[in-house]
């Protein structure tokens, strides 16, 4: 079982990195909705990777940490950064902000990679995350893009997207503890609802729904619910981390 779990964990890591590459390619091809769906699916592969690694009994192996961090850097760092840089929908509205989009996109990717480098070197020994984990940051950027870029539920608003993404980027490197989502975590349900909500929103949006249609309103409502779940993690999460947590090597969702 341990060998099968180890192979499964490696395949999950590979799948996570692959969907990240696919997300970047879809963004460059002008389809952010498919790209965001792939980013969200990467969260599932990342969680499966951690689960299978623990079943295999090698959750603290160097190879597992390096491979997982590289995959996360692509899916939860480079892909969200590219979401902020490339704007093929309503490009006229984004042209005045092209330089700022480039800067914020690079900052998001760079800080995500910096956080993952720290995790690979030392952070995996902690029983909690130091700084917001990269998957939650990526999901937050997806919600920002859905609300104010594509399909722009609240209308296209470059300042809202860029300011929100900047805050999200900084949250990844601030010295504030955030909880790992394990069984029994008070935020486990909120994170599950967040992920499911974004899937519910993004699947019908692939069909370019007309504003005001039933499915469009369902997608909007699911996005709002996902945003509330993320707010719960960011605002309440640090208060759920014990002040004196013992260090315990583990491989968990980043």
- What are the pLDDT digits (tens) for 17-30? 999 999 999 999 99
Most confident of 119-123, 159-163, 248-252: 159-163
Q: How far is Cα 197 from Cα 19, in angstroms, rounded to an integer?
A: 19
Ordered by start, the domain boundaries in the chain are 2-240
DSSP characters over 113-147: HHHHHHHHHTGGGSSSEES--HHHHHHHHHHHHHH
Q: What is the mean pLDDT of the chain?
A: 90
Q: Which two tokens stand for residue 199?
A: 């899937």
Q: Does pLDDT of 245 surpass 70?
A: no
Looking at residue 54, what is its pLDDT? 73
Least confident residue range of 31-35, 133-137, 186-190, 233-237: 186-190
Looking at residue 115, what is its pLDDT? 94
Q: Which CATH class is domain 2-240?
A: mainly alpha
Looking at residue 251, what is its pLDDT? 44
Q: How far is Cα 112 from Cα 136, in angstroms, rounded to an integer?
A: 11
Q: 3-class DSSP state for residue 130?
A: strand
Widest CA span in the chain? 56
Q: Which two tokens stand for residue 74?
A: 């692509």
**pLDDT digits 0-9 by tens, 99-124:** 999 999 999 999 999 999 998 888 77
- Sign for the pseudo-dihedral over CA of 160, 166, 171, 174: negative
């Amino acid at each position: 079982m341990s060998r099968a779990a180890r192979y499964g964990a490696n395949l999950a890591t590979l799948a996570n990195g692959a969907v990240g590459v696919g997300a970047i390619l879809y963004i460059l091809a002008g389809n952010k909705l498919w790209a965001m769906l792939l980013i969200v699916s990467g969260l599932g592969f990342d969680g499966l990777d951690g689960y299978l690694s623990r079943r295999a009994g090698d959750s603290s192996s160097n190879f597992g940490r390096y491979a997982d961090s590289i995959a996360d850097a692509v899916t939860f760092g480079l892909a969200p950064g590219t979401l902020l840089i490339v704007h093929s929908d309503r490009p006229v509205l984004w042209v005045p902000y092209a330089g700022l989009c480039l800067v914020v996109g690079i900052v998001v990717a760079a800080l995500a990679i910096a956080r993952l480098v720290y995790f690979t070197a030392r952070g995996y020994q902690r029983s909690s995350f130091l700084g917001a984990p990269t998957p939650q940051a990526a999901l937050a950027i997806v919600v920002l893009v859905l609300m104010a870029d594509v399909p722009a539920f609240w209308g296209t608003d470059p300042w809202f997207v860029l300011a929100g993404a900047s805050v999200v980027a900084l949250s990844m490197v601030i010295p504030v503890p955030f909880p790992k989502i394990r069984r029994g975590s008070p935020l486990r349900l909120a994170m599950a609802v967040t992920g499911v909500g974004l899937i519910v929103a993004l699947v019908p949006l692939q069909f370019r729904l007309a504003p005001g249609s039933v499915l469009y309103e369902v997608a909007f409502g699911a996005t709002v619910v996902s945003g509330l779940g993320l707010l719960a993690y960011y605002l309440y999460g640090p208060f759920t981390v014990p002040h004196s947590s013992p260090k315990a090597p583990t491989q968990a969702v980043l």
